[in-house]
Every structure is written in structure tokens, then in C-alpha cells.
Amino acid sequence: MSPTSFLFTFESGPDLPTPRPGQFVNVAVADDLTLRRPFSVAGIPAPGRFDLLVEMRGKGTRALAEKPVGSAVDVMGPLGNEFTLPDAGGVSLLVAGGIGGAGLRLLAQELRRGYHRIHALVGARSSEGLLNHVFPAPTGDGEVLLEVATDDGSTGFHGMVTALAEGVLDEPDAPSRVYCCGPPAMIAAIADITAKRNVPCEALLEEMMACGVGACRGCVVATRSGYKSVCSDGPVFDTRELVLEELVRA
């Protein structure tokens, strides 16, 4: 998918409930790593199969990438809540920073299945890390729009993806809801931009995790109604609920 990220397809068999957009799986990546690693379900290519789009970060993701094709992998899931799908009509704005595109890929596929219009914005530091191809290809009739931004200007808009989002939300026919996934600072900026324009927004948070099922409180995030576990209360949150100063500080 990019020089540092890989798309894996897993065969789950008929017993795994079909994952919903926003849900994740917790993967036992290697025998010598006790903690499982969480990854968003990034696609359902066929019944009984699911995709993960994984960026190489450390030991766990490398161990996963090194497994031979056909390996048996212990996976828990699908876990967590899901994105709220829009009512018919209107445009949904999807904002992805870096590997955040993985968390929005299944959502984009589901929105297109329901014939919803989408406008996707994808940002990265440079063209090497861009994951624009995780979204459906743009269509000539405006049903699917795609714009990219790079911090170094190597492709697309030169600047932050949040600046692109601000411009899109100020257009006359602006999207009626926003979904985002990416670094905490990006999510905080999108939360602020959407709150000022009174546009509903949901964010998928990629907090560090341990148990993945709400037992250890190792993944809490500050919300206006107290601390919530990202793994079991989330990972999808209405951004108006999040305490943004704490999100960025974490």
C-alpha cells in the first residue's frame, strides 16, 4: 500500500460476526509478545474474510509482516463500537492522517455501498506515506471526491490536511457530517473546525491498548462525561464529547 504499510487479508471462517466500520480486531502477533496489537478492520473483500492495513512501527507489526502467507493467527474480534452512518442525502467528509486511512477504509466502502456521496481528504508528511488509494477511486460525477495534502508539498496541497478540511467545510455545498482518523493533533483540529461550524463529527481513536476488552483501563481517554475506555466505549467517539486538551497531551 505504501513503502511502510501492508494490506493483509485474513480468512476468518463463518463464525466471526461481520465487522462494522470503526470496529477493530486484537491480534496475537507473536508468541513472545504478550500484548495483542489492535488494528481497524479495513475491508471485507468476501464473506468470511477481512482486511487489515498495517503500518510497520515496531516489533509487533514487523512480526506480523514476517509471517508466511497461510499462517494461522489468533485474532480477537470484532471489538468496539462503530461509526454512525448518515441518513440518505448529503456528503460525508472523511479526513485521514497517515495510517488513519486504515480506520476509514471500511467506512468508505460501506458508504459507497449505500450510494452515499463522499469527499475524502488524505494527508501525510510526504508523498511516500500517502494512503489515498485506500479510498474508492474518484468519480467524474462528483459522487466520490478525493484530495491529498502533504506537509512537504511533494504531492497535492502543500500543507496540513486540516487546512483542506476547513476550506471544504466553508464551501456552499459543504458536507453534512465528518469522520476522521489520524494523529491526536489532527483529530483535535478537526474537532475544533467542525464544532465551530456545527457539523457533526466522529473520530476513531488509536489509543495504546492492553486487554482490548474494557478490563484494565489502560486505554482511557478524557470525555465530558468522565474517562472512557477506547477499546470498549470506543474506538469511535463524537468529537464534541472529547476533552481536546487532554487528547493532544496524551
Ligand X SMILES: Cc1cc2nc3c(=O)[nH]c(=O)nc-3n(C[C@H](O)[C@H](O)[C@H](O)COP(=O)(O)OP(=O)(O)OC[C@H]3O[C@@H](n4cnc5c(N)ncnc54)[C@H](O)[C@@H]3O)c2cc1C
217 touching ligand FES, by CB under 6 A: yes
Shortest Å, Cβ 103 to ligand FES: 17
Binding partner of 182, given ligand X, ligand FES, none, CB within 5-8 angstroms per partner class:
none
Shortest Å, Cβ 32 to ligand X: 12
Shortest Å, Cβ 80 to ligand FES: 10
Piece of the chain touching ligand FES by CB under 6 A; list 56-64, 90-98, 105-113, 212-220: 212-220
Comparison of 200 and 214: residue with beta carbon closer to ligand FES: 214
216 touching ligand FES, by CB under 6 A: yes
Comparison of 86 and 235: residue with beta carbon closer to ligand FES: 235
Shortest Å, Cβ 142 to ligand X: 28
Find the binder of ligand FES among 61, 132, 223, 229 (CB under 6 A).
229
Distance CA 173, CA 186 (A): 23
250 touching ligand FES, by CB under 6 A: no
